[in-house]
Amino acid sequence: MAKQISMAVIRRLPKYHRYLKDLLEREIYRISSKELSEIIGFTASQIRQDLNNFGGFGQQGYGYNVEELYSEISKILGLHNTYNTIIVGAGNLGQAIANYSGFQKSGFEIKALFEANPRFIGLKIRDLEILDVEVMEEYIKENNIKIAVICTPKESAQDIANKLVKAGISGIWNFAPVDLQLDGNVVVENVHLTESLFTLSYLLNEKEEATR
């Protein structure tokens, strides 16, 4: 049986992935956990512990093979797969995500955008058509869509999410400022931008009070 990995470890994996990719781009193919620790900012013991969750990869006296570790972490993150993806809500944020080529390169293939506002329906973002949200469920079923990105206003997010789940989506990347209440077997990852900005303003104020 697979061991339960903590969310804290899981959230560090993409960071390992990013740093290992940078190393490969700089043609560094071998690295000690101490050196890795210096660039990534986790302790060497933290790194060994994290990676031991997945069987460990380092060799005593050799360190890590960067290519191998990168490829293993990619696989752990599911990046050896491709995911048919749609974006719901074709406002500024939805368009920005559709335009960002990095997601495509990592296997998240954006197939279409959906929108309720008739002004947008029929327009194109890159080569992607903006479709009527009314046909979304049918589209998901017919095109084997795995992931939906919710970029709608908060008022419609829950309703959209219900429809997505009913149509058989596996994962939701939610940018709407609501906590979705969902039954069933769907994975939700939230990006709450306003909460992030408010954290920044908290820290700013705390700092100013400390120096007063």
* Binding site listing for NAD(+): 89-94
Please say which residue, 2 or 118, places its beta carbon nearer to a second copy. Answer: 2
Q: Which of 38, 100, 124, 159 binds a second copy (CB under 8 A)?
A: 100
Structure tokens at 67: 């290519």
Structure tokens at 52: 């031991």
The span from the CA of 201 to the CA of 207, in Å, is 10
Shortest reach from residue 187's CB to a second copy, in Å: 4
Position 146 contacts a second copy (CB under 8 A)? yes
Shortest reach from residue 158's CB to a second copy, in Å: 12
Q: Which of 14, 52, 67, 135 binds a second copy (CB under 8 A)?
A: 14
Q: Which of 72, 87, 95, 163 binds a second copy (CB under 8 A)?
A: 95
The answer to whether the beta carbons of residues 187 and 174 sit under 8 Å apart is no
Query: Among residue numbers 107 through 136, which ones bind a second copy (CB under 8 A)?
Result: 107-108
Q: Which of 6, 49, 81, 117 binds a second copy (CB under 8 A)?
A: 81
Chain contacts with a second copy (rule: CB under 8 A): 2, 5, 10-11, 13-15, 17-18, 41, 76-79, 81, 83, 91-93, 95-96, 99-100, 102-103, 106-108, 146-147, 170-171, 173, 177, 179, 185, 187, 189, 191-211
